[in-house]
Structure formats: structure tokens, C-alpha cells
Amino acid sequence: MRAWQAPSVPDVPGAAPRPVVHDTATGKPVDPTWGEERAALYVCGITPYDATHIGHAATYLAFDTLGRAWRDAGLDVEYAQNVTDVDDPLLERATRDGVDWRELAASQVDLFRRDMESLRILPPDDFVAVTDEVDRVAEAVSFLQETGYAYEVPTPDSDGDDVYFDVNRPTEAWALGDESRLDRETMLTLAAERGGDPERPGKRDPLDPLVWRAARDGEPSWDTEIGPGRPGWHIECSVIAGDRLGLPISVQGGGSDLVFPHHEMSAGHAAALAHQPLAHAFVHTGMIAYQGTKISKSLGNLVTVRGLLDDGADPRAIRLALLSHKYSDDWEWFDTELTSAVTRLATWDAWASGASAGHTDDAAEVASRLRARVSDDLDTPGAVAAVDTAIAGGTACTPELADLVDALLGIRLA
Ligand code: 5CA
Ligand code: ZN
């Protein structure tokens, strides 16, 4: 599927250190490329049933920053992202609003593209709709059944049977290492909250996730080698990441609400399918709240990118507001985030246009501080502070420094 227009990214002389990121699986900082010249990134994409909110924007911006840091370090970056364009929440919203689910998904994906473009987020090389990969998922499910990793559960309301993954059949590599494994109680609660069905009768283990949903009346389904139906959630990401990037990838990314069960199960599926770990590192962004609760499409406490832009916000200020927070922190959006960013951006613009005369001899030092901050687990607040400090200390902006701010932070100064 078509992604969106790529922003221009200046090439800046010199190179950044190789980025190190925090890996959720081990709890440690790692170079997820394992020293290779190629970095493969998969980031879980949207379920397109409502507008892009600033939580989504922050998550995609964090991985945009990683892509920029890798490029600045001289690596070749390959990036894939899915779109969950068939799943229960999307179908439920379409039914509620009396619209065709395909039209709802298509219109929301269009909005998402426009928002990503406005924010100058680097597009994935492969932007993949799950509805285009149904045959590949069916093939994978069939393989899991043949190899004993998946089994059918009697499904009275369908002519076929749903298929579940057996979490107790050992695979070599799961997402979360023993260091970070959750207790069973927590796993059951999270599975129930996040798309699982621990109560479903007939499963071997309540935690077993659905990999294939047999066709039901009134639900979309595809005719495949395992009969009519549609993919379960986690397996789409294992299949798309494996097909487009090859396993193991460098980074599997997404918000922290995907750590369990989504990334755990995706990694389990990948291990069962390919006998490979899904990723060298699992990188998770914090959750952004608004009015005291996590922003969520289902709760409706949305601050949308579109809403901010329609109110006249400079997209660069939205970027700067988000970059002023550490990607992995949970934090709350206040309307003052934007006003502070607007003020800061005005100072930066004035600096870049040469309004603040100063000395250029320590510009190189500022550049290396910027690079060091971004490469150190995407410390964008540190990078923002480095620019603030340079301005406060009277360092004049050079064209290279302005280019580096653009290359790493995606902000083209006036
Ligand atoms: N389609 C699945 C992933 S395969 C999905 O989770 N879609 S989503 O639309 O619900 O979320 C898209 C991305 O935004 C995910 O990475 C999710 O973790 C992240 N996200 C959702 N809400 C927030 C939030 N409040 N703050 C930060 N990131 C968020
Ligand atoms: Zn995913």
C-alpha cells in the first residue's frame, strides 16, 4: 500500500555514534543492529477507526527519531509498518456508525498519512495492509497447525473452527526474557483487556491467543487454504515483519500497551514459524494521557493532530512539544505543551536566521552533543536542551548545525 511523502533529510558531515536503545526484553541498553550496517525496523501500525491522536504521533515520532539517528550514523535502514485494517474494534466502530468497515479504514488511513506528512515523519518502505496479507497469514497458520503449535477450537457459530496458538508448546524465543516475565495473574488481566479471550471455552490455556477466526455471518472473511476466515491479531505482525524484513529484525517497536500480549505473542509466533527470534530488541514508548487518563480511541479523550493543526498549530511546534519528553516516559499532555513549544521554536528560528549574533567556534561541540544525546536511547529532551544551552551561551547557528537539527529532530528552522 502507498505510504506517505518522505520529508527531505539533509546529509550532515560527520557521523553520529551508533544508537543504543532500551530493550524491554532484557531491561538493558543495546545496539539492536548487533554491529551490522543494516538496521531493520518494524513498528506496529494503527488500527484505523479514529483520528491520529498525539499518543500515536509520539510513538511514530520516537521511531522516526531512531530512523534518523541510524541514518546519521551511516546505516542502511529498512522499515516496515502494518495497518490493522480488519479487527474487532474497527468492525465494531463501523457497525456503530453505520458505515462500511472498508470505507472507515480507508478514510482513517488517509488521515493518518496526512498527519504523518504534516509532522514530517519518515515513512516506512513497506506500509502493509493486513487485508493484503490474508493468504500469507493463512499459510502461516496452516504451518503452525502442521507443526503442532496451533490447534482448532470448536466454534458453534461458524461452519469452520477458530485456531489458537499453544503458548505452552516451547519455542526458542519469546519477546520477554525471564527477567521481565509477568506473573500469570497480570498476564490474564492484560490479555482480557487487550484483545484476548481468556474466558473462551475449549482452549488449552486461557492465555492461548487466536491466530485465525473462522468466518461468521455478517463479518468479513477471505477464502483461503485453511477455509474462510480472517487473521487473529498478533500473527499479522510476525508474518509481515518476517516477510518484509527477514528475521531477526533489529527493533520491534510500539507503545508499552503492546508489550503484553501483543509483542510477546508475535515473538512466540515468529519463533514457531521461523525458529528465529523476532527482534534483537523490543522498544516501547510510554503512554500519553490527557485529562488524567491514557489517551485512547475507545475512551474518546482525544487530542488529535488534525485538531491541533486545524486550530492553527505549527506542525514543527507539535513535534518539538513531543520531542521535549523522553519517548519511554508516560506523561500527560497539557494545553501549555504547545504554547511552550511555540515560544521555544520562535527562539530557535531567530537563532537560525542569525538574529542572535555569536561565536561559531563551538558549533562543532554542540553538534556532537546533539548527536550523542539522540544516540543515547533517543534522549530528545537532552538534545532539545543542548540547543537551548547553545543559544543561551551565545553559540551562533551555522548552516551545518541547522541541518543537523533538521536531520535528527526533523525541525527545519526558518
Ligand atoms: N494496530 C495495532 C498494532 S499492530 C494497534 O495497537 N493500533 S493502535 O491504533 O491502537 O495504536 C497504534 C500505535 O500507537 C501503537 O504502537 C500503540 O502502542 C500506540 N499508542 C496508542 N495509544 C497511545 C498513547 N496514549 N500514547 C502513546 N502511544 C500510544
Ligand atoms: Zn503489531
Give the chain's domains with CATH numbers: 21-289 (3.40.50.620)
Averaged over 24-33, what is the pLDDT?
95
Which pLDDT does position 254 carry in this prediction? 98
Mutate which of 54, 56, 90, 137 for ligand 1? The one with the most ligand atoms within 8 Å of its CB, which is 56
The answer to which of 99-103, 182-186, 195-199, 383-387 has the lowest mean pLDDT is 182-186
Averaged over 335-362, what is the pLDDT?
88
Mutate which of 112, 258, 303 for ligand 1? The one with the most ligand atoms within 8 Å of its CB, which is 258
State which ligand 1 atom lies nearest to the alpha carbon of 288: 26
Q: Is the CB of 295 under 6 A from ligand 1?
A: yes
Nearest CA residue ID for atom 12, ligand 1: 46
Q: Is the CB of 47 under 6 A from ligand 1?
A: yes
**Dihedral angle, C-alpha 320, 326, 330, 336, nearest 10 °:** -30
d(CA 278, CA 243): 12
Q: Is the pLDDT of residue 348 over 60?
A: yes
Mutate which of 41, 46, 239 for ligand 1? The one with the most ligand atoms within 8 Å of its CB, which is 46
Q: Is the pLDDT of residue 370 over 70?
A: yes
State which ligand 1 atom lies nearest to the alpha carbon of 237: 4
Q: Is the CB of 255 under 6 A from ligand 1?
A: yes
Nearest CA residue ID for atom 9, ligand 1: 46
Q: Do the strands 38-43 and 249-255 form a parallel or antiparallel pair, or are they unpaired?
A: parallel
Q: How confident is the model at residue 195 (pLDDT cuts 50, 70, 90)?
A: very high
Q: Is the pLDDT of residue 179 over 60?
A: no
Q: Is the pLDDT of residue 228 over 70?
A: yes
Q: What angle do CA 227, 109, 138 make, to 5 degrees?
A: 15
Q: Is the CB of 209 under 6 A from ligand 1?
A: no
Reading phi first (left if > 0) and then psi (alpha if -120 to 50, else beta), residue 338 is in: alpha
Q: How confident is the model at residue 345 (pLDDT cuts 50, 70, 90)?
A: very high
Q: Is the pLDDT of residue 245 over 70?
A: yes
Which pLDDT does position 8 carry in this prediction? 98
Q: Is the pLDDT of residue 170 over 80?
A: no
Which pLDDT does position 292 carry in this prediction? 87
Q: How confident is the model at residue 203 (pLDDT cuts 50, 70, 90)?
A: very high
With beta carbons less than 8 A apart as the criterion, state whether 392 and 34 touch: no
Q: Is the pLDDT of residue 396 over 70?
A: yes
Q: Is the CB of 232 under 6 A from ligand 1?
A: no
Residue 237 CA to ligand 2 centre (angstroms): 5
The pLDDT mean for the chain works out to 94
Interval 39-51: pLDDT, tens: 999 999 999 998 8
Nearest CA residue ID for atom 14, ligand 1: 56
Q: Is the CB of 82 under 6 A from ligand 1?
A: yes
**Taking the CB of residue 171, how many other CB atoms lie within 10 A of it?**
18
Interval 63-95: pLDDT, tens: 999 999 999 999 999 999 999 999 999 999 999
State which ligand 1 atom lies nearest to the alpha carbon of 295: 25
Residue 60 CA to ligand 1 centre (angstroms): 9
Name the phi and psi angles at 149, rounded to 5.
-90, -15
Q: Is the pLDDT of residue 250 over 90?
A: yes
Q: Is the CB of 268 under 6 A from ligand 1?
A: no
The closest ligand to the CA of 61 turns out to be 1
Interval 283-297: pLDDT, tens: 999 999 998 888 887
Nearest CA residue ID for atom 3, ligand 1: 44
**Taking the CB of residue 300, how many other CB atoms lie within 10 A of it?**
8
Name the phi and psi angles at 287, rounded to 5.
-95, 135
Which pLDDT does position 123 carry in this prediction? 98
Averaged over 202-207, what is the pLDDT?
96
With beta carbons less than 8 A apart as the criterion, state whether 44 and 257 touch: no
Residue 179 CA to ligand 2 centre (angstroms): 23
Q: How confident is the model at residue 4 (pLDDT cuts 50, 70, 90)?
A: very high
Which pLDDT does position 359 carry in this prediction? 73
Buried b (16+ CB within 10 A) or exposed e, 325-334: bbbbeeeebe
Nearest CA residue ID for atom 6, ligand 1: 46
Which pLDDT does position 17 carry in this prediction? 94
| Residue whose cell numbers read 480511541 | 297
Which pLDDT does position 178 carry in this prediction? 59
Which pLDDT does position 356 carry in this prediction? 59
Q: For the chain, what percent of residues have pLDDT higher than 70? A: 97
Nearest CA residue ID for atom 28, ligand 1: 55
Q: How confident is the model at residue 355 (pLDDT cuts 50, 70, 90)?
A: low
Q: Which residue stretches of 184-254 are H helix?
A: 184-193, 233-245
Q: Is the CB of 265 under 6 A from ligand 1?
A: no
